[in-house]
Structure 1
Amino acid sequence: MNLYQPRTLNSYARYYFSKDNSTQRQAKEMSLVTLCYRFWIIQYKEVSPFFSYAYSDRADNALLSFQKVNTLDFYYNDEKEYSQLVLDDTVEVWHHHCLVFTYPTYKIYVDGVLAKEGRLAADSAVIPLNGTIYLGHDQDSYDGGRDTEQTFSGYLSQVNLWDYPLEKGDIKNMAECLINLRGNIISTDTTPFEFSLAEINTTEITRFCQKSKRAVFIPEQMYLDIAIKFCNLVHASLYVPESAEENTKLTVQAKKFNDICVGNSYRLMYLGATDRVKEGQWLRVSDGKPIEYSNWFAGEPNGDNKDNCLVLRRNDDHWADIVCDFELCFSCGTTNKDFLQLRGLCEEKEHQTRFLLEGHMNSKPYFRGYYNLIIYHSGQKEWFLWNANTNTTLASLPLAKASEYPIGRHAWEVRSSFCNNAIGKSVVLGLSICTTQEFMCTDGSCVHRSVRCNLLDDCLDRSDEENCTLVVFSESYQNYKPPPGLAFGIPLKISPEVNLVRFSQIEDLNLAFSMEIEVALVWMDQNIHFNNLKAEEGKNQLSEKEAEAVWSPEIEFLNINDGRMQLLKTGIYARQVGEPDLPVFTDVKMDTIFQPKSSRLVKRQHYYASFNCQFELFSYPFDTQTCQIIIKLASVDRKVIDLENATVTYSGMKYLSKYEVKNINILLVPSGGYAVMEVTFDLERRYSLLVLRVFLPTFLLMGIGYGTLFIKPKDFDTRSMMALTTLLVLYTMFDQVSSNLPDTAYIKMVDLWFFFCIFTIFSVNIIHIWVEFLPPGDDDDIFLKRDQVAPISSGFKKHRPSSPRRAGLQRKCCTGLER
């Protein structure tokens, strides 16, 4: 029974209990109820009612079952039950429902499976049988109050009503087309319904459970690869029959277009199979599986390794194989789930944007919407968007060629006002198979949303990198003033992120250090939102024009050394910090939108500069210097903008040539009404080399100087020269070390060390001189006797003590010996 008649109340199936006097229906009421029906939806309305029973204006919903988009609801004794049962919302597929009421509970079976059970809200179980039943209409009053937007468009069959609960097994067998039970109260197979403008067909029950693939013939000559792409764009695949029945239907359909598809050739159309992979093994191009059915012409396939394409012959329904160098017509195979979506309208539900590729109008396939819209060809070079309910043409699309289709994004001309679009206006609409998680290329192909505006061409037509505006400004945006804070009267909060990139030089003499530093200022601008942000911040850089158009804070450094500062690089970026808005199914641009709360602006500035640092050198070379970089937020004072959540990182080497970098911190310190941050870090001197170069040599020199005290007293020249040389070397080292340090008014520990070393060696030298002027002691006779054992040199003058102890003894006169 076909009730597809848009915007009419004259198509219905009705039954009056009061007019039926048959002995089968002597029951006056029901307290136990089973309602089963089978349906095939062609077109959705606001509500798609299946069964409606009313016995008075007050009891207009005594028993009502209907589907609204993808949910099933029902009334029992005028009480609405919200089952919240989600159904398959595709069209053109058979489904079977059974509602079993055993007051005060109910059960709902969908396609033979128990899908929902619950308790009824009705006060009574009894339903009188003295009213009117409508199939495909909702009665808002007894035998009336019907609405064109609450009608069923499609097929209804096997509508049965019992006054007892049906067994679960019987329901399952009915749904699986194994049995055909008829209701003892009503049955569309036997009950004398009144039909008006309804098409009545009789078919085998098994047909309801068969899954068939629809084939839509495309009367356009294309090469095989282009034909495959076209079918993919309409959510289909190149069709190849899988049975003799399907082959016959395809042949009948294709031969209607002989004048378009063939000339004098025997080739009529491409079929969706090829043996390109392996000669003699014919595989479906849709899934690569071998074909199970074939209908070869005598002598075909001919075994030629170049004949890799399968065709349907013109004069019969047989197949042949040919080379793939011809432009031929073809057919696209689809299922009920293979729908397209039309974006750019103002529909309330995503369900309303769905379209199916259907039969032919003006020798072209057309696209039929789930609800009331149809896209069809005019017969020339124009496509129309038509509203079947109002019988009006909403928009038209002129194309350059008659063979072109409205797949993808196109500018349509408004013919009748819709969605606040005035007549004559150009509106962009997009017809494709792309989901809300995908981006629609101009040609109708789909790529994932994440690749939109990623600087790479992912669409073949490169449309994914077009119109890549990152920032969307509000109408009242002003870039000369900071954006507002989170609440009225609260300053805008800016989060600084400081990165100490690397030290290039630490100048002890100049009390300064030079380094690269990157300062990032992060803030939220509530007057803008962003499109297509990427997780990687570096891919979200604002263009030069966009960067000039947004407000951004300014900074200055307060402890620059001699004005030595250079801005190496600057840029403004957008940062993704939250989830984007949910995709809008009507958005034809299909951009991913991030609201201010889900994004931040980041201004990055990379500097090379020299900064002052007050070195404290008292502990040199075991000193640790604490240096700082002072950064001021110079745009406006803290009443308008302020700093918070400051962070600092160091990405350079921890161990420098002379220092180790430690204890890096950042502190927010208001100064003069402005926000200031101080980045501090410690430079701990690496003293190991200095120990080797300064302290170890001075220890050795001290040892040498002290060792001269153990030279024989008579070797004054040796002792004095060694001690004096040691003193001079110590002083030279002291001067060299001091020259590598800044001049300070205070004494450093290294100075004290050198003072100690120099004073010690100086004391040794004084001892040597003092020993020379001591009077002779008793021990000198011992030295004398020891010296007389050996021949006396003519140049020998006198003996001197060889140790400090002997140097302290009183010496005897040895005048004769000295001569």
Structure 2
Amino acid sequence: MKSFVVIAAVRFQRDGKARQDTLLKYQGTLPNLTSVSQCIRVNLQQSRQYNHIFSYAVPDESNELVFCKGFLSFTYRYKYINLACCGGNVDLEVPLPTPLRQWIPVCFALDLQRRAIRLLVAGAVKEYPLATLAELALVVRGGGLLVMGQDQDSYGGGYIESQSFSGILVDFLLFDRLLPDKDLIAFGECRAMSTAASPIVSFSNVERDFRSENVEVERMRKQDVCDPQRKDILIFPELRPFEEAKRLCNISGGELEVPESEEQDWSLFNKCVPYAKFCNTGSMTNFWLGVKGNVTTQTWYHYITGKVLNYTDSSLKRFTIEEPTTCVAFVGDNKTNANQHANWDSVDCQEERCPLCYLNEVVFLKARGLCSESLFDRDYFLTTDNGAVTFTGVYYSMITRYFPSQDNDTGESDYGHWVLSRLDKPSVRATLQMDSPTHYPLGRQEWIVDNDVCGVDTMVIMMTVCKEHQFSCDDGYCVRIQQRCDMEVDCPDGSDEMGCEFLTLDLSYNSDNPPPRLDATKPVEIKLHIDIFAIRKIDVTNFRFTCEVEVTMEWFDSRLRFRHLNYASELNSLTGLERQPWRPRLEFLGDRNTASDVQERRVTLSVRRYTTPLRDNDEEVLESEIFEGGENGLLMVQKLTVTTPCQFNLEMFPFDQQVCHLRLSLTGVTNQYVTFLADEKGIDFRGRKRLLEYQLVREAMVPHDQGNYSGVEVQLYLRNLSNFYITSTYVPTFIIVVIGYLVYFFPLANFNERVLVGLTGLLVEATFFSQVNSSIPHTAYMKLVDIWMVFCILTLFLVVVSVVIIQCVQDSPTVIPYKPRKPKLVLRQSWSTKPDVWKSNCWNLSSMWYRWSSRWLSGSRAVQLNRWCIIIVPLGSFVFLAVYAVMASNRVF
């Protein structure tokens, strides 16, 4: 049989009440000391303002030697150990982790001659100098009084509740010499020290060496003190189904126990026996384990991880896993047969058993919703004693269950109630009525309050185990804080998507005033971005265009604070709020500041998150990530249909280019206070740039203030898609001109056909001109297309006129005399630079031209006129077309 070392343990203030009369007094006296070593193991059950382990006083000095561990404020971060001695000439504070409800070794060696102290910190020895005057002789004077568990503010008295000790002390050793580092480390590791010296004070015989006042001296196994592994079992003495048991363990900060060995089975059995009378089910089993069975694979697995168990009780192997007996219960009653003790059994998950909750660390429950001045503790931990579950505050409060009382008038019984009280101030209390026998003050509950300083009669308190960056559901479950108000239900009760107001405006907030300027010389900037999704219509006739616009504005308002923001700004909507924050008002103008027609399609207001949240405020019942308005932007998106005038210049139509302007201006506040600032891109066109008649070449946005009001101007550069007019107007009309020109090649005798073709072409051109003119804008000035049509009509008109003139000339012909001659043609092999040779070559060329022109223009005068028309009309048209092409291609962009 395995043997255990049993040591004496002294428990102070078991009931949690801070008192002045719980202490140990050493019966002997101490000698003068210049070297002191002290070691002790401490389990702090509750914290006071200062938690004094011991104090040593002489008649004229209360702080001759004081050793305490305490907290400036109980935030679980600012923890230190304090040593004072030698008439107050030494006062040293050293950071040291001081967790609650865990065993920690405290060991130091104080060398007053060297003015230094060596302290065991986290398994290593560190040395710290003592800051004192060099001329002072440091000594701990003997003959005084050693008290444990209290601080002596006067010799043998002056005790204060807030400077008492609540916890357990074991292995107290006080030496009158310096221990080496290896002994300090050995003590911390629960190994034997190498020193042969005996301590001058110890707990080897507490009852003989100390006089106790309201303390309990117990016996503990040293293994339980020195074992670094922590495994607490929290037993709730009420029967409930498996799912409810699982939920209760979860919201208590633990999980259902799953033993991993036969030794753990028996250890668990011993812990369950005292609770068996509260968990009597009428069957062999009475406690739930965190084990479930898989019907398909016939295996037992951990109910959270889903992993198949390496260890199961042998009694469980004989069961076939089938519905509904897929849960496992534990035999924890010693009144059953001895061969059934600590057995596992397969049972229906809907049956009721008591939960066995496993906690691998000290779990603190935070009470949220208390005002900052409240007298109640904000942190609690669960304890069980003789079937009673208690919520013990880390300082002075406690939550205790009071069982139901009989109603003499109706004969009915209630379910009892929970009382939150200050142990040192009984009149300060809060009460929670139970609505069922298994109702615990976990999650969000409404309490009736008496005599607290918050000044309210009722108070909603959230008792939660959720840690930093977690959100507490109303029923006590914990989810990630990022899951709060993300439009997905994550809490079992759906409370994470309730109360999702991202902004609550103070009554003093004025929505008509813009955000305050952080710099008096610099206006508040509104970052502006414009997206044009489509140009729906360019109405050249009415000189206007219509476009689909999305205007995005972002600004910061330092007066605001936001809550639980998501990184996706679409989820941080403020659109539905009854009271809206200040928003910029826009005015849309066209060319020359003409008014625009604006149809609002959609407006959204949201918050864009940039920073991490502020520190959580536990005065609020629900955890909320709070963000500063000066660091996280308001984002307003307006989807609009805008019809705005545009002053088209159509002189070059249909080869024209246009620049249309859309101006946006702030109203209601001058640019001294608020101004526009374009973002990196400024403007984006997201639609098709090739429209029906025009093509968008480029877009731009430039600053353009309207008087004292900040504004911007959107510039759209458009180019006419002239291919349509070329194919539908220019080519047909040009073909008709060519057809009219061909009459010059008809025989002169066919006058009727010549005139008829010319007149027909002229009429067709006139008809084209009328049709084109009706489909394009009417202007007082000539457009390029007008010039073209006039050219075509005028050309055909001249053709008809010339045909008539030729016919008139033909009726009275005159023959041009022609004298043939044979000029002597001399062709030289090469051009010469000699003057006589050059003149001869020029003469030969002129002679050739003369002979050809004489033959071509020979005949009647009518023939000559017709031939001249054949030459002149194409030449004139070519000159016109060249000039016209230059004008049409003369584009600015």
Q: 1:241 to 1:350 in 2, by over 3 A?
A: farther
- Please say if residues 300 and 319 of structure 1, whose CA atoms lie closer than 8 Å, have aligned partners that are also in contact: no
Q: Is the 8 A contact 1:238 1:332 kept in 2?
A: yes
Deviation at 1:503, TM superposition (A): 1.3
Aligned residues: 775
Q: Which residue of 2 aligns with 1:659?
A: 695
- Alignment CA distance shift 1:258-1:208 (3 Å): closer
Task: Decide whether the 8 Å contact of 1:431 with 1:444 is kept in 2.
Answer: yes
SS of the residue corresponding to residue 429 of structure 1 reads strand
Describe the shift of the 1:732–1:308 C-alpha distance in structure 2 as closer, same or farther (beyond 3 A). Answer: same
1: CA distance between counterparts of 2:854 and 2:141? 142
Cα shift readout 1:276-299 (whole Å, capped 9, x = no counterpart): 3676644343545565666555x9
- Asked if 2 retains the 8 angstrom alpha-carbon contact of 1:273 and 1:283, the reply is yes
Residue 128 of structure 1: aligned partner: 140
Deviation at 1:376, TM superposition (A): 1.9
- Whether the 8 Å CA contact 2:67–2:82 is kept in 1: the answer is yes
Corresponding position of 1:460 = 492
| Code of the aligned partner of 1:383 | W
**Matching residue within 174, 177, 192 for 2:190:** 177
Pairing 1:743–2:755 present: no
Number of the residue aligned with 1:308: 326
Say whether the 8 Å CA contact 1:574–1:600 is kept in structure 2: yes
Question: Equivalents in 2 of 1:376, 1:805: separation in Å?
Answer: 134
Between the aligned partners of 2:751 and 2:82, the Cα distance in structure 1 is 126
- Residues 809, 320 of structure 1: alpha-carbon distance in 2 compared, 3 angstrom cutoff: same
Aligned partner of 1:153 in structure 2 is: 166
1:412 Cα deviation after fit: 0.3
Query: 2:360 is matched with which residue?
Result: 335
CA distance 1:11–1:622, shift in 2 (3 Å): same
1:446-484 Cα deviation digits (max 9, x unpaired): 223333334443322222233333432223344566565
Match of 1:367 in 2: 391
Aligned to 1:367, what secondary structure does the other structure show?
strand
Among residues 718, 721, 725, which one is paired with 1:683 in the alignment? 718
- Could you tell me which runs of 5 or more consecutive residues in structure 1 were left unpaired when the two chains were aligned: 782-802, 815-819
Identity %: 25
Listed as ranges, the matches of 1:584-599 within 5 Å are: 584-599=617-632
Counterpart residue number, 1:29: 33
Q: 2:279 aligns with which of 243, 257, 261?
A: 261
Structure 1 equivalent of residue 83 of structure 2? 75
Task: Provide, for residues 281-325 of structure 1, a one-character-per-residue CA deviation record: whole Å limited to 9, x for no partner.
Answer: 44343545565666555x963445454332233414241423324
Q: What CA distance in whole angstroms lies between the structure 2 residues aligned with 1:133 and 1:623?
A: 105
Determine the C-alpha separation between the residues in 2 that align with 1:304 and 1:331.
Answer: 22
Corresponding residue for residue 376 of structure 1: 400
Q: Is the 8 A contact 2:370 2:618 kept in 1?
A: no
Equivalent position to 2:243, from 216, 221, 225 = 225
CA contact (8 A) 2:443 2:472 kept: yes
Residue 409 of structure 1 deviates from its aligned partner by 0.3
**Offset at residue 758 of structure 1 (A):** 5.6
- Determine the C-alpha separation between the residues in 2 that align with 1:136 and 1:778: 150
Gap change, CA 1:271 and 1:676, over 3 Å in 2: closer
Structure 1 window deviating more from structure 2 (733-742 vs 623-632): it is 733-742
Please state whether the residue corresponding to 2:287 is helix, strand or coil.
strand
Find the aligned partners of 1:351 and 1:176 in 2 and give their Cα distance. Answer: 38
Counterparts of 1:636-785 in structure 2, within 5 Å, are 636-638=668-670, 642-646=674-678, 648-657=682-691, 658-671=694-707, 673-687=708-722, 689-690=724-725, 693=728, 736-753=771-788, 755=790, 773=809, 775-777=814-816
State TM-score, norm by structure 2. Answer: 0.75
CA 1:755–1:369 in structure 2 vs 1: closer, same or farther (change >3 Å)? same
Going from structure 1 to structure 2, the CA distance change for 1:430 and 1:41 (only over 3 Å counts) comes to same
- The separation in 1 between residues aligned to 2:730 and 2:63, in whole angstroms, is 108
Alpha-carbon distance in 2 for matches of 1:165, 1:691: 109
Change in CA separation of 1:557 and 1:218 when aligned onto 2, cut-off 3 Å: same
Shift of 1:717: 7.1
Q: Following TM superposition, by how much is the alpha carbon of 1:595 offset from its aligned partner in structure 2, in angstroms?
A: 3.5
Cα distance in 2 for residues equivalent to 1:156 and 1:399: 37
Contact kept? 2:175, 2:201, Cα under 8 Å:
no
Q: 1:16 to 1:699 in 2, by over 3 A?
A: farther
SS of 1:174's partner is helix
Per the TM alignment, residue 273 of structure 1 is displaced from its structure 2 partner at its CA by 2.4
Stretch deviating more after TM superposition (216-225 or 76-85): 76-85
Which whole-Å CA distance do the structure 2 matches of 1:35 and 1:525 have between them? 59
Q: 1:216 to 1:642 in 2, by over 3 A?
A: closer
Give, in whole Å, the separation in 1 of the partners of 2:482 and 2:354: 36
Calculate the TM-score normalised by the size of structure 1. 0.82
**Please, which runs of 5 or more residues in structure 2 have no aligned partner?**
1-9, 405-415, 821-851, 864-893
> Is the aligned partner of 1:397 residue 2:432?
yes
Aligned to 1:10, the other structure's residue is in SS state coil
- CA displacement 1:247-300 (0-9 Å, x = unmatched): 455445545455543354333222332333676644343545565666555x96
Whichever residue aligns with residue 471 of structure 1, its letter is L
User: Is residue 470 of structure 2 the alignment partner of residue 438 of structure 1?
Assistant: yes
Match of 1:792 in 2: none
Whether 1:504 and 2:536 are equivalent positions in the alignment is yes
- Which residue number corresponds to residue 385 of structure 1? 420
Deviation larger for 532-541 or 639-648: 639-648
User: How far apart in 2 are the matches of 1:733 and 1:561?
Assistant: 36
Q: Would the aligned equivalents of 1:512 and 1:561 in 2 still touch at CA under 8 Å?
A: no
Question: Kindly tell me: are residues 776 and 126 of structure 1, through their superposed partners in 2, closer, same or farther at Cα, counting changes over 3 Å?
Answer: farther
Matched-pair contact (CA < 8 Å) for 1:643–1:668: no
Separation (CA, whole Å) in 2 of partners of 1:539 and 1:357: 38
How is 1:612-651 mapped onto 2 (pairs within 5 angstroms)?
A: 612-634=645-667, 636-638=668-670, 642-646=674-678, 648-651=682-685
